[in-house]
Structure 1
Amino acid sequence: MSNLFPEPISNLPEADMPFSNYQAYLSQGENHQIIFMQFNEDIDLPEHSHESQWGIVLEGKIELTINGVKNIYTKGDRYFIEKDVKHSGKIFAGYADITFFNQKDRYNTKLKKQK
């Protein structure tokens, strides 16, 4: 999958996420993070919780079970997960979104490989 995001986004620091075969760019605020993500393979998301999260789907689909309710979100859909609400899901290959985390330290930046 080619990179969906233009240069101003792809020049942001890369987010270090516990997945493989993805691109994720991190815009860091004082009290929040915005992550521009796209996935090249299916990913299962185990149940977890954290601060509130809002996302908008740019491409593909994601299946989210939020507080026991399962929904599928596709291009143009928005979702919101309230603080401390348990959720899980499946990201399908080709999925891309912009996600706002009301948490300044949800993800770290990837360390640059030394040459």
Structure 2
Amino acid sequence: MSSKFPPVVTRLPQADIPLQGVTAYLSQGKDQQIIFMEFAEEIDLPEHAHKAQWGFVIEGRLDFKIGDAELRTYRKGDYYFIPEGVKHTGRIYAGLMVMDHFDQPDRYGVKKS
């Protein structure tokens, strides 16, 4: 899959994310991570929880159910916040590009060659 992200992103290490059809780039900080992700296929996300996550939709569509809230569709320009420990689930559509900030330095590791 040819990336739509610019070289300043694609030069970052690729993140090891256990989802089919995702290409992800990892910007690692001491106490947090920023992940730039592109999805080539649709994915149903199983319900899960982790430390706080703030995300921004760069392109495409994402359906999220965060906690007890109703399912909501996020599109280009929308952002979402998932507080620490709150369960969430959703559907990712092919073509989605997002930038996610995780308040967790070890959420994802670098992909091994």
TM tier, smaller? over 0.9
For residues 81 and 4 of structure 2, what CA distance do their matches in structure 1 show? 23
For residues 56 and 39 of structure 1, what CA distance do their matches in structure 2 show? 14
For residues 2 and 78 of structure 1, what CA distance do their matches in structure 2 show? 25
Seq. identity, %: 50
Code of the residue aligned with 1:33 in structure 2: it is Q
Cα distance per residue 1:18-64 (max 9 Å; x no partner): 11222100000000000000100001100000000000000100000
Deviation above 4 Å: which 4+ runs of structure 1? none
Does structure 1 residue 31 correspond to structure 2 residue 41? no
CA RMSD of aligned residues (A): 0.9
- How far 1:3 moved relative to its partner? 0.8
- How far 1:68 moved relative to its partner? 2.5
For residues 4 and 86 of structure 1, what CA distance do their matches in structure 2 show? 30
Q: For this pair of structures, how many residues does the alignment match? A: 112
Unmatched runs of 5 consecutive residues or more in structure 1: none
TM normalised by structure 2 equals: 0.96
5 Å matches for 1:1-115?
A: 2-69=2-69, 70-112=71-113
- How far 1:4 moved relative to its partner? 1.2
Unmatched runs of 5 consecutive residues or more in structure 2: none
